[in-house]
Amino acid sequence: MAKRDDRADNVDRIQRAIDDTMANAREAEDFLAAHEDDLSQKDEQAIRAKNQRREQAIRGFREEIQDEANHQRME
């Protein structure tokens, strides 16, 4: 017998992922501000690129939350 798709906690799980990702981005920005003079250009670019990917992930998470909200309305 197939296991029922329990989506009850999906919004909370996704929101935690958003919060964690935003916290990581802030920590990276704080690190850059504190150590920018000590970092190589390559390392600085890598951190900035990682934060751009984090922003893309956050947008994707927000779309997932909207999908979940739409799914819950249909139930």
Long-range contact list for 39-46, CB < 8 A, 24+ apart? none
The CA distance from 61 to 14, in Å, is: 6
Mean pLDDT of 15-37: 97
Q: Is the pLDDT of residue 1 over 70?
A: no
Tokens linked to 61: 């998470």
Is pTM beyond 0.95? Reply is no
**pLDDT the model gives residue 4:** 66
Mean pLDDT of the chain: 91
Structural domain spans, the chain: 22-30+41-75
Ramachandran angles phi, psi of 70, nearest 5°: -65, -40
